[in-house]
A and B are shown apart, each in its own frame.
Chain A
Amino acid sequence: MTSPLVEVAGLQTHFPVRKGLLRRAVGAVRAVDGVSFSIGKGRTLGLVGESGCGKTTVGRSLLRLVEPTGGSVRFDGRDVRAAGGAELRGLRRRMQIVFQDPYGSLNPRMKVRTILEEGLIIHRLGTAAERLERMTRALARTGLTAAALDRYPHEFSGGQRQRIAIARAIVIEPDFLVLDEPISALDVSIQAQVVNLLVELREQLGLTYLFISHDLSVVEYVSDDVAVMYLGLIVERAPAERLYAEPLHPYTLALFSAVPSVEPDRRRRRIVLTGDVPSPARPPAGCRFHPRCPLAEQVCREAEPPATMVDGHAVHCHVAAREVERAGGDAAVAAACMADLMAATAAASATAT
């Protein structure tokens, strides 16, 4: 087992809430509040959750596009948070990001050539001729030709722009890409093209991905491991096939059941959560999911649930922990019990209304 490329432990990113004349910090939005994971070289971690859960902030914190306020981030054994100046620049050459909106992430006044060349110049990679060769190669890998270099972003469709954004990320030959909702702004028929492209690039270039998305089926398709976030914390993490086959956390179960499906047998009873996601400035005590959780008990309101490990599957839930113990450590049995419990509450609330 080689050591992981990316190692995150107890990552915290809080944003101060400032008020009054002196802009004093009166509180903090705890966007990321103690997140730990690692990604092995060449592997893909999918990070899913709803808006405001902190998944985007995790991605940006890894690259220090926002400064983490606690915890550690190690990239290839080196401490990203402690790195400064030349060392940070060196690390950033190896870690790149692709953003959601290809309309917002490409400067409309720059030609594609300038957009792609910027990184090469900053990192002093190659002569002018070598830079052109690298740019042409990056464009070719994303399905574009060198003719794109002398055009502006507005001349391209959404899908092509996202290809340009991907070309910009891979042109300096990084090892690791943060993909922040890379297909959400695209049409369905274009999404599949970009997903295939990302999978191809991973295979050809040996890239490691953090794939951030709210689209559960695409995450399953792309990822080796998946982590589910809720209000700044990872509530469940497992290898993709385990998480999708045997979800243990009530939030994961509700999330899966809420996704509309065209497959009739998938359309089982929807678990409709009540209420909205609370503000990360005032996260609830105990388990952060308890105000919306149909299975919440007294202990959930009081104590933050620790991780329960079962077959490489980590879940933070008091109820799931008990079910895992009752099942004698059999994740499949525990998952079936959790599904039954959730279904029972869904049925009860359906008859109540």
Chain B
Amino acid sequence: MEALIEKLKEQIIKQLNLEDITPADINEEDSLFGEGLGLDSIDALELIVLLEKEYGIRIENPKDGQKIFFSIKTMAEFIQEHQKK
């Protein structure tokens, strides 16, 4: 799980062009949207692409996104449950 969380942090930084942020800056329990990393609606769509591209997971209902993408931890948990590759 730890390794997945670290890998996710790096992937998110790369996919979302968070240039001045390092994995150490992201706390796995912090909210990604709103106060935490301050991601916006386009970032949310990119995270859907990231899940498919890197982990082969398709989100059928985008409204689930809020729960899945709440924090790095919730994302990692979701991936572990659903990963196909």
A and B are interacting partners = no
Chain A contact residues, CB within 8 Å of chain B:
none
Q: Contact residues of B with A, CB < 8 Å?
A: none
